[in-house]
Structure 1
Amino acid sequence: MGRLLLVRHGQASFGAEDYDALSTLGAEQARVLGESFARRGVKPDLVLRGSLRRHEGTVAGLFAGLGEPGIPVTVDAGWDEFDFQQVVAIHRPLYREEIAGHEQPGRAFQEIFEAATGRWSSGGFDAEYAESFPAFRDRVTGALERAGELLREHRDIVVVSSGGPIALAVAMLTAGMTADAATLAVVWSSLNRVAVNTGVTKLVSGRRGLWMSTYNEHSHVEADQRLLTYR
Structure 2
Amino acid sequence: MGRLLLVRHGQASFGADDYDELSGLGGEQARVLGESFARRGIRPDLVLCGSLRRHAGTVRGILDGLSLEGLSLDGPGDPAIPVTADPGWDEFDFQHVVEIHQPRYRDRAYLAAELARSDEPGRAFQEIFEAATGRWCSGENDAEYAESFPAFRERIAGALERAGDLLRQHRDIVAVTSGGPIALAVAMLTAGPKGDPATVAAMWAALNRVAVNTGVTKLVSGRRGLWMSTYNEHTHLESAPRLLTYR
> Shorter chain as normaliser: what TM range?
over 0.9
Q: CA RMSD in A?
A: 0.8
Within 5 Å, which residues of 2 pair with 1:201-212?
201-212=217-228
1:15 equivalent to 2:15? Answer: yes
1:194 equivalent to 2:210? Answer: yes
Cα offsets for 1:54-82 (capped at 9, x unmatched): 00000000000011112100000000000
Within 5 Å, which residues of 2 pair with 1:71-150?
71-95=81-105, 96=111, 97-150=113-166
CA drift of 1:206 comes to 0.5
CA drift of 1:90 comes to 1.2
Which residue in the other structure is 2:76 paired with?
A: none
Cα offsets for 1:135-157 (capped at 9, x unmatched): 00000000000000000000000
Which residue in the other structure is 2:73 paired with?
A: none
Which residue in the other structure is 2:26 paired with?
A: 26
- Number of aligned residue pairs: 231
3-state SS of 1:94 partner: helix
Which residue in the other structure is 2:235 paired with?
A: 219
CA drift of 1:223 comes to 1.3
Which residue in the other structure is 1:38 paired with?
A: 38
Alpha-carbon distance in structure 1 between the residues aligned to 2:115 and 2:87: 30
CA drift of 1:178 comes to 2.4
Alignment gaps of 5+ in structure 2: 70-79, 106-110
The worse-fitting range, judged by mean Cα deviation, of 142-151 and 65-74 is 65-74
Q: Which amino acid aligns with 1:190?
A: A
Alpha-carbon distance in structure 2 between the residues aligned to 1:105 and 1:135: 31
What TM-score do the two structures reach when normalised by structure 2?
A: 0.92
3-state SS of 1:103 partner: coil
Alpha-carbon distance in structure 2 between the residues aligned to 1:93 and 1:195: 27
CA drift of 1:49 comes to 0.2
Which residue in the other structure is 2:59 paired with?
A: 59
CA drift of 1:117 comes to 0.4
CA drift of 1:105 comes to 1.0
Q: Which amino acid aligns with 2:202?
A: V
CA drift of 1:92 comes to 2.0
Which residue in the other structure is 1:50 paired with?
A: 50
The worse-fitting range, judged by mean Cα deviation, of 52-61 and 171-180 is 171-180
